[in-house]
Amino acid sequence: MRDRQRKLLELLDKSGAGLHALLTRLTLREDIAEELMQELFIKLSNSSGLDKVANWGAYARRAAINLAFDWRRSRKRTPLGLDQVHEPASNDNSPLGKLIQTEELEEILNAIGRINGPSREAFVMRYIQQQSTDDIAKQLGKTPHQVRALCYKVLSHLRDVLGSDQLPSSGKEQYDVEN
């Protein structure tokens, strides 16, 4: 038990900031991200199967993503976390502009939340965490090609849910992320 405690503290030092940033992006609220972070580590601490997990960081990230989307599903009405969005979508800094932007982001996140399993995790890592497909493949234990396929599946879903009838320029995933 003491060993697990030490490992959890190491995980907190190593990945705490990243997990908090991920939770903030998925919830759009810093206070909720803090609460979910607390809940995440308590769950990890109480988890009976944690000792069998090889990669604690990946396990924690998956749990964080699940917690964030569970929170999105559980709340009935969306409170607006306008202050968390640092870079506005346009130069319009008016309250109305922020409101519209937050609603747009909420719309995307709610659509992603309807997906389950490794597809969602891969998509979040790729498009929200801006990781490269190679890195994601290593962390998920898949090939880069499989990762691209998973991301494409989610993107197609988003197009179906949110988008118009317009098809993407090609059938493959487009690489416009930074990594």
Partner 1 sequence: MSKIDENEIRRRLKLLSQIEPTPEAARRATERVRDTLVNKEKRRESTRMWRAIIKRPMTKLAAAAILLICLGYAVGRLSAPQPPDVEQLRSALETSLKSSLEEEMNRRWQPVFAASCVQLKDELHQQVRRDLAEFADQILTASGSLTEQRLMELINLIEAARKQDRRRVATALEQIQLNRLQDKTLFGNGLVTLAARTDELLGTKEN
Residue 74 or 90 having the CB closest to partner 1:
90
Write the DSSP assignment of 51-112 as a string of letters.
GG-S-HHHHHHHHHHHHHHHHHHH-SS----GGG--S-SSS--SHHHHHHHHHHHHHHHHHH
Q: Which positions touch partner 1 (CB under 8 A)?
A: 1-2, 5, 8-9, 12, 16-17, 20-21, 24-25, 28, 30, 33-34, 37-38, 41-42, 45, 84-87, 89, 101, 104-105, 107-109, 127-130, 155, 158-159, 161-164, 166, 168, 174, 176-178
With tokens 């709340």, the residue in question is 75
Q: Which is nearer to partner 1, 17 or 99 (CB)?
A: 17
DSSP label at 1?
Answer: -
**Minimum distance of partner 1 from residue 104's CB (angstroms):** 5
Please identify, using beta-carbon distances, which residue of 31 and 141 lies nearer to partner 1.
31
